[in-house]
């Protein structure tokens, strides 16, 4: 064993395992297959563990051309959901000696200023949301090892795609409202050109179309409380049967719908039920508390980072969408007698 006061070196590991330093380098660099035996590799790893050996990452990165840095591209830093995504991704990255840099593409103003002269020369890989695709292209991050979040798996730019099961979340919302007797719906749809929101609209329309007597009206809205309020007021002022349920793509949109309904003298849920999607802290700050779909943002970020690590290691990332859960609260109730 090396003295406890000294940091173990690769030479110490080689001596403890009875092999050359070259063999240690091959094993700990995961390049041993076909060059040393599996038994030797096991012996080297065991010696490294026993000694508490940690490689000199700075020197190793210079040799390998690796920066140990990953870029996480998100639509905005002010969104609680993407803060959770970052937390989950950074937790996994830290366990593997990686740093995570956030690159925001704020809503309404386009991509942020490029933080790198060339992302390709400064990063090992990128994790990006489909809503930040413009920013991704602007920094040429799509030319790096890439994992896409919340994106069409059949048309993804990335080597891997990680998704929450949003389609199932939308189905859960529809089934809940249909079971309560609702047949006249307003879909308050996020006015963002993104696969995830397009898919939500398709799933909702398809599920409601399968039930005779249902009607759905769609009102696009920017993802803001004021924007959602304005869109809801305009939709409810239109001619035709008044919706008994408002299905919102996002909890912030639901908050705007609440404001619009109250301005019009309508009660939630007595006159109109409202649902959201995300289960942000906002959902329980509303009165009544919001029925919404809970998305595990931290697990989403964790799975995204695990997928990128697999891509960097040449492994197949694990598949399967992340389950979501409908949380029923006070904003939904049986449909009131229908009025025009």
pLDDT in tens, the chain (340 residues): 444 446 778 788 889 999 887 888 778 776 677 778 888 888 988 988 888 876 554 444 434 445 678 888 887 766 789 889 999 999 999 988 888 988 776 554 444 455 554 445 567 888 988 766 666 656 555 567 889 898 888 877 678 899 999 999 999 999 999 999 999 999 999 998 888 999 999 999 999 999 999 999 999 999 999 999 999 999 999 888 899 999 999 999 999 999 999 999 999 999 999 999 999 999 999 999 999 999 999 999 999 999 999 888 888 888 899 999 999 999 999 998 765 4
Both structure tokens of 197: 């929101």
Residues 275, 69: Cα–Cα separation, whole Å: 39
Domain 10-55, CATH among 1.20.1440, 1.10.260, 3.30.700, 3.40.50: 1.10.260
Question: Residue 174 CB: number of other CB atoms within 10 A?
Answer: 25
Q: Where in the chain is the domain with CATH 1.10.260?
A: 10-55
- Phi, psi (rounded to 5 degrees) for 292: -155, 175
Q: Where in the chain is the domain with CATH 3.40.50.2300?
A: 69-163+297-320, 166-294
If you compute the radius of gyration of the chain from its CA atoms, what whole number of angstroms results? Answer: 25
Give the per-residue pLDDT at 251: 96
Give the per-residue pLDDT at 136: 61
Give the per-residue pLDDT at 118: 46
Pairing of strands 99-104, 245-248: unpaired
pTM recorded for the entire structure: 0.75
Fold assignment, 166-294: Rossmann fold (3.40.50)
Give the per-residue pLDDT at 179: 97
Give the per-residue pLDDT at 8: 79
Give the per-residue pLDDT at 117: 47
Pairing of strands 292-294, 325-327: antiparallel
Residues 170, 236: Cα–Cα separation, whole Å: 22
Domain 69-163+297-320, CATH among 3.30.470.20, 3.40.50.2300, 3.40.50.300, 1.10.1740.10: 3.40.50.2300
Residues 99, 89: Cα–Cα separation, whole Å: 10
């Amino acid at each position: 064993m090396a003295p406890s006061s000294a940091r173990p070196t690769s030479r110490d590991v080689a001596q403890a395992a009875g092999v050359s330093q070259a063999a240690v380098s091959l094993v700990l660099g995961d390049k041993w297959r076909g060059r040393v035996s599996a038994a030797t590799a096991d012996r080297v790893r065991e010696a490294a563990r026993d000694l508490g050996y940690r490689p000199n990452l700075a020197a190793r990165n210079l040799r390998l051309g690796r920066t140990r840095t990953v870029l996480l591209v998100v639509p905005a830093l002010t969104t609680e959901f993407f803060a959770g995504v970052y937390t989950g991704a950074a937790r996994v990255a830290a366990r593997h000696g990686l740093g995570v840099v956030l690159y925001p593409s704020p809503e309404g103003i386009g991509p942020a200023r490029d933080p790198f002269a060339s992302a390709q020369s400064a990063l090992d890989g990128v994790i990006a949301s489909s809503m930040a695709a413009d920013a991704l292209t602007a920094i040429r991050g799509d030319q790096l090892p890439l994992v896409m979040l919340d994106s069409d798996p059949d048309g993804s730019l990335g080597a891997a795609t990680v998704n929450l099961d949003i389609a199932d979340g939308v189905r859960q919302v529809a089934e809940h409202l249909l079971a309560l007797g609702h047949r006249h719906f307003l879909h308050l749809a996020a006015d963002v050109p993104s696969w995830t929101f397009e898919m939500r609209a398709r799933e909702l329309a398809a599920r409601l179309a399968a039930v005779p007597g249902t009607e759905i009206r769609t009102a696009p809205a920017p993802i803001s409380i004021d924007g959602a309020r304005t869109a809801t007021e305009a939709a409810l002022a239109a001619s035709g049967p008044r919706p008994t349920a408002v299905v919102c793509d996002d909890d912030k949109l639901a908050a705007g719908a609440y404001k619009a309904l109250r301005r019009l003298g309508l009660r939630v849920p007595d006159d109109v039920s409202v649902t959201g999607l995300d289960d942000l802290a906002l959902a329980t700050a509303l009165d009544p508390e919001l029925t919404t779909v809970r998305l595990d943002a931290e697990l989403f970020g964790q799975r995204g980072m695990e997928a990128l690590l697999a891509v960097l290691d040449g492994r197949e990332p694990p598949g399967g969408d992340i389950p979501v859960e409908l949380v029923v609260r006070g904003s939904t109730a049986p449909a009131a007698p229908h009025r025009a």
